[in-house]
Structure 1
Amino acid sequence: MNPHILHWSYRDFREFPNELLDHSDTLEEIYLKENFIPTIPKWLFHSFVHLKFIQLSGNLLQTIPREICDLRNLEHLDVSKNKLIELPEQIGQLNKLQYLNASENEIISLFKGIGAMKSLETLNLSKNRLRELPIDVASTSLAELILNDNDLIEIPTKIMSMESLKVLEAERCSLEYLPGIVGDRVTHIRIFNNPKLTHYPTVYEKFLRLHYDYWSENVVSADLLMIFLPDESKRTIVPRQVERIRLDNSPNSLTEYCLRGLYANRPYYEIVCANLVENELPRRIFRCVQYGPICRCGNGECDNMLFTECHFSLMKKNQSPSHIIFSNMFCSKTCLTKWHEVFKAKYHPIDWIHFV
């Protein structure tokens, strides 16, 4: 028997076995998968200072004690397939935690302070009841984020464009649109099986599995800008942050110019975000600053970031049997026209009408 590892899974335990205390000085890994354990005793956190790995999947846990933060060496925590409705914010103090699996629970919201978990690489929250993700997630070093089967309406651009992110899954959620920016290191995205998605920004084309072809008549949120596609007899929407779709080359609003200028100075922008107080700004401005741009101008020769205004284009691939509709956003009519000229052999634009 390895003195550092204890395998007591599938043993029908009705409570945390006290016999563990006999190994408190040596244990680094505990496997108690698929038992009937309803609670975690506090002595676990005070006695097992060397613990690095806890596997408690498939039990009856309803809460995780806040004292879990005392496990300073913990690197791997699996509490999937339990009855949790929340995770304690003290988990955010586990500075060495690299892997957190809380899938298949009843979690409604994620704890504040997750951004402090600089070692976290994998976060699995699939099959919960999440409706939104805290923007703090973007401050972690996540490489893998699994969000399948939740009630998410959107994924913030800041999270999708994380520098560390490689894998993101959000299948079978309630996503109404996708961010217009994808991180440079992302190699795997499973996000297209969402019934309310009606178009995909062109940055997702390389991830799109062509057998996905989902359209839906489901009602979407009433506070989103709506577009009607006459030839498709369908409605589609643009990201929540967009307040105005521009049709000409008239100047942008002062708000848009200020947000772009702030974001252009990234070190200063990060300082502003870290010290921003919600009540000090109008809510819509606070959200724009905190969540960052919705996308970069679709014209590759342009570096402008877009926040609340854009020129919007919908298109299909030429000579393709698929009904998939792609989208792109631009900072100006000029950039839109240039892009379509460059890619006219690949895409053809489709008509749309602003739906009020």
Structure 2
Amino acid sequence: MMDPDMAREVQTKVILHWNYRGFKELPEELRIEGEHVKEVYLKWNVLDKLPQWLGVLRSLTNLYLYGNMLESLPKEIEELHSLVILDVSENHLSSLPENICKLHYLSVLIATNNKLSSLPKDIQKLTSLQTLHLAGNSLQILPESLCQCQSLEDLCLDRNNLLCLPSQIVYLPRLNSLSVSGNQLIYLPALPFTTEIHLNFNENPCLNYLPFPLGCQITSRNGSNADHWYLNCFGCFLRSLSDSTYLKNTILHVPPSSMWQNEAMQLVMPYELNHVYMPGSAQVPSLYEMTLRTVYTSLYHHIPQNIKLTRKHIFTTFRKLKFEWERYQIFPSSIAEQLRRGPVTICFHPNCQAPIFKYAVVWVVPVNNLTRSGQEISVLTVVYFCSQNCSLLYEKYELSNLNESEVLLSQSRTEWKYVQTL
């Protein structure tokens, strides 16, 4: 039997403020009279499930379910075709249903402090998604499809169990805020982002180096330069992995030094980069690597990025264009997939900047960083080259193009050796 007062409230309002009502289930009055309702606030109730009739709320744009006891979302959520904002924070959700990806107008999805261990594999179908907050979950890996959410602007992944980020995340064209504090990150993307991003990565204790171009991009926001950085990196660069045997990545061993607390450091390279060599090695890129580089540069072109690495070195990155799969069906599927995903990084030499997929010559270079407390620490950075030739030529480039007052990376680099490689 309907409550007359509640029925009248539903009939006469388009916004329902039902926070702290002690609801154990959604009122029937909403099902019968609520087709016109646009916003429902149900924070801090005791809902443990949503009804199958949820789809009758065809006009619903905002649904706030913060602080309930939900363990799952019903498949009928796909029928909320007008939904723009969904907040399911502080519940007990272990997953999000795949059909949530049918909400093509969904712009804000907030699911902080749940038990999520994965995301829908077709999340790229959320074409309007601008804000995604997933802090306080159990995510260990992000689907590459997330990097196809072209409208995404604000991504918060704090306090999860992430080891790394998908390399293509740097290409998101509108991303201006990315927060990954309090994870287990062992490396960050080897390319700078294509946007002027605010990146927060505090409290990742096993993150013990930065790709040099990305570090320059981060510090350029506050006026720092390549000679001296000012990174907000509290709780990072503290230690190496205690156990790396489960990883298949190439790992570089950097001997102890007074600059990094007299401890040996293990630098975990991006997973795709499995042929890494020291300067002066006789190894050359494979035919497979050269094929990827040649074809990729015919598909994409460079655009200049305003990322100052040295006073005379402006880094560039690739602009992703539409991949015309049909034109490249002559290639084996493994090559076609690599081309679609794009390079791990690009050559650091400003006159080359070729794409790098699996082979690189690596310099490890300490950079001075001034912390918020005013303490100066040494941060290890990694510089990638596409060949031994570019590595050698860059040494000559520095000598002929940089001022005497500038720090030469070639003279600052430190030695390293393999711990493991595939």
Normalization by structure 1: what TM-score? Answer: 0.89
- Match for 2:416 among 349, 352, 355? 352
Structure 2 letter corresponding to 1:258: T
Determine which of 301, 305, 313 is the counterpart of 2:355: 305
Structure 1, 33-42 or 311-320: larger mean CA deviation: 311-320
Decide which of 4, 16, 29 is 1:19's aligned counterpart. Answer: 29
Q: Is the 8 A contact 1:315 1:326 kept in 2?
A: yes
Identity fraction in percent: 28
Partner in structure 2 of residue 227 of structure 1: 252
State the AA in 2 paired with 1:227.
L
Aligned with 2:346 (options 281, 284, 296): 296
Residue pair 2:54, 2:76 contacting (<8 A) in 1 also: no
Match for residue 214 of structure 1 among 237, 250, 269: 237
Distance 1:19 1:122, change over 3 A: same
Residue aligning to 1:101: 110
More off after superposition, 218-227 vs 234-243: 218-227
Contact kept in structure 2, 1:210 and 1:322, CA below 8 Å: no
1:85 to 94, 101, 107: 94
In the alignment, structure 2 segments of 5+ residues that lack a partner are 1-8, 220-230, 258-263, 301-319, 371-375
On the 8 A contact 1:318/1:346 being kept in 2, the answer is no
Deviation of 1:204 (Å)? 2.5
1:164 matched to 2:179? The reply is: no
Match of 2:59 in 1: 50
Amino acid at match of 2:413: P
C-alpha change, 1:210 and 1:86, in structure 2 (3 Å) is closer
Structure 1 equivalent of residue 295 of structure 2: 262
Question: How far is 1:314 from its partner?
Answer: 1.2
Q: Aligned ranges for residues 319-338 of structure 1 at < 5 Å? A: 321-338=376-393
For 2:74 and 2:82, how far apart are their aligned partners in 1?
A: 17
- Aligned residue type for 1:293: P
Cα shift at 1:287: 6.5
The DSSP-based 3-state class of the residue aligned with 1:322 is: strand
Structure index of larger Rg: 2
- RMSD over aligned Cα atoms: 2.7
- Gaps of at least 5 residues in structure 1 are none
CA separation of 1:330 and 1:129: change in aligned 2, threshold 3 A: same
- Does the aligned pair in 1 maintain the 2:81–2:104 contact within 8 Å? yes
Map of 2:274 onto structure 1: 243
Shift of 1:336: 3.1
Indicate whether 1:129 and 2:163 are aligned.
no
Contact residue 318 and residue 345 of structure 1 kept, 8 A: no
Matched residue SS, 2:415: coil
Q: CA 1:273–1:251 in structure 2 vs 1: closer, same or farther (change >3 Å)?
A: farther
Instruction: Note if contact 1:176-1:197 (Cα within 8 Å) is conserved in structure 2.
Output: yes
SS at match of 1:324: strand
Residues in 2 aligned to 1:318 and 1:134: alpha-carbon distance in whole angstroms: 35
Residue range with higher mean Cα deviation, 225-234 or 127-136: 225-234
How far has the Cα of 1:139 moved from its partner? 1.2
Deviation of the 1:28 alpha carbon? 0.6
